[in-house]
Structure 1
Amino acid sequence: MQNSPASENRKLKMALVGGGGQAFIGRVHAIAATMDYRAALVAGVLASEPERSRQAAVDLGIAPDRAYGSYQEMLETETQRPPDERIDFVTIATPNSLHYDMARSALDAGFHVMCEKPLTTEARLADELMARVDDTGRVFAVAYIYSGYPMIRQVREMVRSGELGEIQTARVHYIQGGLRRMQPDQTPERAAWKLDPAQAGPSGAMADIGTHAFHLLRFTTDLSPMEVSSHLATYHPVRPLEDYGHAVLRCAGGQMATITASQVTHGRLNDITLEIDGSTGSLVWRHDHLDQIFLRRHGQPVQVYENNRRADYLSDGYRASSRLAGGHPEGFFEALANLYRGAFDDMWRCASGEKPASAGDSYPSVTDGCEGVRFVEACIASSRTDGWWQPY
């Protein structure tokens, strides 16, 4: 189905599924997708109950006639609108268990998709989505937001250009403590579904934040995992899923990598550390200093790469992702906006009869989403066998 005429003189039309009420990530998507004035939020299904959904949609500025009670109603109604009026893409920000059906339905209706992670709760479903994306030719992006930071894209260019020499090891630690504020007899104001395996899926911390860490590792290093050894644990009684875990990865070139995910570390908010060791240097990037990269070589002073578009030492990949002059921090909204920017470029290519060309580089693709789900399944299988190596 051809949605609208291929003309970048208009804004792409966005539909948001999920993310209403007290939800955090839905509003982040609504802001990031429209940041560069290339899209407008025009339709939505913002809650599981039809009346709450319609009210939440109106609160986001969506017209009453496009504030739907279910995603089925939205897709059916939107496909009946004239091509120049219907939506172009659907952003899915719902509990994990709903991702597959909603994404599959949106693709079958002819719409592009931006989906929250994890892509699905099972690898077989992720593989089915990947096949459906191939069949439909639609753009499919997965919201691994941290790959949109300009300095993370600088890290990738530094690794690929050989600035660290041969990559030998890498570590990603994603540490939170939010579960500590919850009690088993309390229902949190938002994201209560994450406490329910029927909605969250078979994994807790690894599916929620471990997949971010895994994608960050793959995006920056291009390492190819072959086997996974993992130990998962549940320390806080607020949910029956793991809240802490380690994974060790054996990679195709003999490299080793480790991932740690915690949601029960007291006092930690959203701390991410990426460390990459090469034969001629090592680097560190931290989320709490997201505009800096620390490069070290044995016996030499530490080099600090700073967010500055005028600096000659920064790459074209960095500059394409940076919006502000040096000294002005670029954060979470801008990172997600960068993913949307890449996806929008491919949506326009599709509208012009061309094939998508930016998936995996400018934005995480359905393939990246599948890799994340396979990683989670390998971690679960390994942990159940006391850390035995599992094929990835």
Structure 2
Amino acid sequence: MSARRLRLGMVGGGEGAFIGAVHRIAARLDDRYDLVAGAFSSNPEVATRSGDALHVAADRCYTRWEVMAEREAARDDGIDVVAIVTPNHLHVPVARAFLAKGIHVICDKPLGLNLAEGHILAEDVARSGCHFVLTHNYSALPMVREAQRRVAAGELGEIRSIEVTYLQGWLNERAELGDNKQARWRADPLRAGAGAAGDIGTHAWQLAAFVTGMSPEAVRGELLTRVAGRQLDDEVFAEMRYASGARGRLWASQVATGHENDLRLHIVGTRASLTFCQQQPNQLTLLPHDAPAFTVTRNGHGMSAAVAQQCRTPAGHPEGYLEGFAQIYREAADLIQGKPMPLLPGIVDGIAGMQFIARLRESSAQGGSWVTWA
């Protein structure tokens, strides 16, 4: 495939949606995509208004994603890739429909509702020959990539401990009972599958696994529902045990009063430690054993040349959340057009996220006992 702009379709993300706009901004940022089709809503009026607002031709605004997959695959100018920005219960069925038509997929996380359907999707991905990309955007931030490079290079020595926390407070009350569209579907077991474990726990899980390159041999934890009447978990505590002897802890909460989007990673090794905080995404702090602590800044002195190529602005000009998504979209375009992108999250990351939820549920049901990862 030539290096032309890719034709992008979108399922979900219509009027009133949050994450759809984030994906569209990300796709535009590096001028690699044209949004040409969409099933933005099953409501015909909303679908039409959304298409008009996004300058998508009326004959390519669909109310059913099954029809969209069929018709776009039949067009000479049909979409190359689809972005799935729906609630979780539709991720797998929508992805399978487009993969079956030979259309690449960029999907919001988590992978789906459960591990079983994740394995089914993995088989479809392999059979289709298409690419499947999962938008774990935090792992695409330059300072996270810098952390991953330094760990892989052995700068921290042998990893002893991993701690990752993701704290939000926006569901500290039952926002799902009001007109908050995002809260309503995230609190619905049929549409979300899991609560905090899926929505932000999988982000924390993938961040720690991405930077360290490590998977545990066993996990244990608790899924808690702190707000009375809520059907899904809103707080998660987990511990990880690794074959190397390393230990890990994960805490994800949507009821951490006063916290906004507080994702933090701390890794301790025999030679050095590192700390990253998503709310200061342009900084990475290193703490060596026998030298003063120091901070590496995005595109600043001390940052590796390979990671600096990802940066879009000079040092001191902040980049963050949207640029992380944009990096996923940039690398997805490169991947689709034939360039290997080894750090791009995909079906393997999605399966691991579903496995994390499944093992936590198993452990929590057994009172927090250790369960094997495999």
- Determine if the TM-score, normalized by the shorter chain, exceeds 0.5: yes
Q: From 132, 136, 145, give the equivalent of 1:140.
A: 132
> Aligned with 1:288: secondary structure?
coil
Once the two structures are TM-superposed, the CA of residue 338 in structure 1 deviates from its matched residue by 0.7
Distance 2:15 2:176 in 1: 23
- The aligned counterpart of 1:244 is 235
Does 2:309 correspond to 1:326?
no
Q: From 146, 150, 156, give the equivalent of 1:158.
A: 150
Once the two structures are TM-superposed, the CA of residue 13 in structure 1 deviates from its matched residue by 0.5
Q: From 259, 279, 282, give the equivalent of 1:268.
A: 259
Once the two structures are TM-superposed, the CA of residue 136 in structure 1 deviates from its matched residue by 1.2
Q: From 283, 287, 295, give the equivalent of 1:296.
A: 287
Q: From 99, 112, 120, give the equivalent of 2:104.
A: 112
- The aligned counterpart of 2:365 is 384
**Which residue identity does 2:316 align to in structure 1?**
G
Distance 1:162 1:13 in 2: 41
Judge which range, 186-195 or 372-381, deviates more: 186-195
Distance 1:258 1:320 in 2: 32
Assess if the C-alpha contact under 8 Å between 1:232 and 1:383 holds in 2: yes
- The aligned counterpart of 1:61 is 55
- The aligned counterpart of 2:296 is 305
> Aligned with 2:29: secondary structure?
coil
Assess if the C-alpha contact under 8 Å between 2:174 and 2:230 holds in 1: no
> Aligned with 2:182: secondary structure?
coil
**Which residue identity does 2:81 align to in structure 1?**
F
Assess if the C-alpha contact under 8 Å between 2:175 and 2:184 holds in 1: no
- The aligned counterpart of 2:226 is 235
Does 2:8 correspond to 1:7?
no
> Aligned with 2:337: secondary structure?
helix
Assess if the C-alpha contact under 8 Å between 1:19 and 1:93 holds in 2: yes
- The aligned counterpart of 1:72 is 66
Q: CA offsets, 1:140-194, max 9 Å, x none? A: 1001110110000000011011111111111110000010254564231434211
Once the two structures are TM-superposed, the CA of residue 52 in structure 1 deviates from its matched residue by 1.4
Once the two structures are TM-superposed, the CA of residue 379 in structure 1 deviates from its matched residue by 0.6
Assess if the C-alpha contact under 8 Å between 1:154 and 1:317 holds in 2: no
Q: From 69, 94, 97, give the equivalent of 2:89.
A: 97
Once the two structures are TM-superposed, the CA of residue 314 in structure 1 deviates from its matched residue by 1.4
Distance 1:214 1:195 in 2: 21
> Aligned with 1:275: secondary structure?
strand
Assess if the C-alpha contact under 8 Å between 2:177 and 2:184 holds in 1: no
Q: 1:316 to 1:138 in 2, by over 3 A?
A: farther
Relative to the length of structure 2, the TM-score reads 0.96
Assess if the C-alpha contact under 8 Å between 1:179 and 1:238 holds in 2: no
- The aligned counterpart of 1:287 is 278
> Aligned with 1:41: secondary structure?
strand
Distance 1:190 1:368 in 2: 24
Assess if the C-alpha contact under 8 Å between 2:185 and 2:192 holds in 1: yes
Does 2:337 correspond to 1:357?
no
Q: 1:317 to 1:260 in 2, by over 3 A?
A: farther
Distance 2:356 2:263 in 1: 18
> Aligned with 1:325: secondary structure?
coil
Assess if the C-alpha contact under 8 Å between 1:23 and 1:191 holds in 2: no
Q: 1:238 to 1:187 in 2, by over 3 A?
A: farther
Once the two structures are TM-superposed, the CA of residue 295 in structure 1 deviates from its matched residue by 1.1
> Aligned with 1:318: secondary structure?
helix
- The aligned counterpart of 1:337 is 326
Distance 1:252 1:236 in 2: 36
Once the two structures are TM-superposed, the CA of residue 252 in structure 1 deviates from its matched residue by 2.4
- The aligned counterpart of 1:352 is none
Judge which range, 105-114 or 19-28, deviates more: 19-28
> Aligned with 1:187: secondary structure?
coil
Distance 1:219 1:158 in 2: 12
Q: 1:135 to 1:183 in 2, by over 3 A?
A: closer
Q: 1:130 to 1:184 in 2, by over 3 A?
A: closer
**Which residue identity does 2:228 align to in structure 1?**
P
Greater than 3 Å deviation, 4+ residue runs? 181-185
What are the within-5 Å matches in structure 2 for residues 202-213 of structure 1? 203-213=194-204
Does 2:22 correspond to 1:28?
yes
Does 2:337 correspond to 1:348?
yes
> Aligned with 2:97: secondary structure?
helix
Assess if the C-alpha contact under 8 Å between 1:275 and 1:282 holds in 2: yes
Segments of structure 2 that go 5 or more residues without pairing to the other structure are none
Distance 2:225 2:70 in 1: 42
Assess if the C-alpha contact under 8 Å between 1:25 and 1:93 holds in 2: yes
**Which residue identity does 1:122 align to in structure 2?**
N
Relative to the length of structure 1, the TM-score reads 0.92
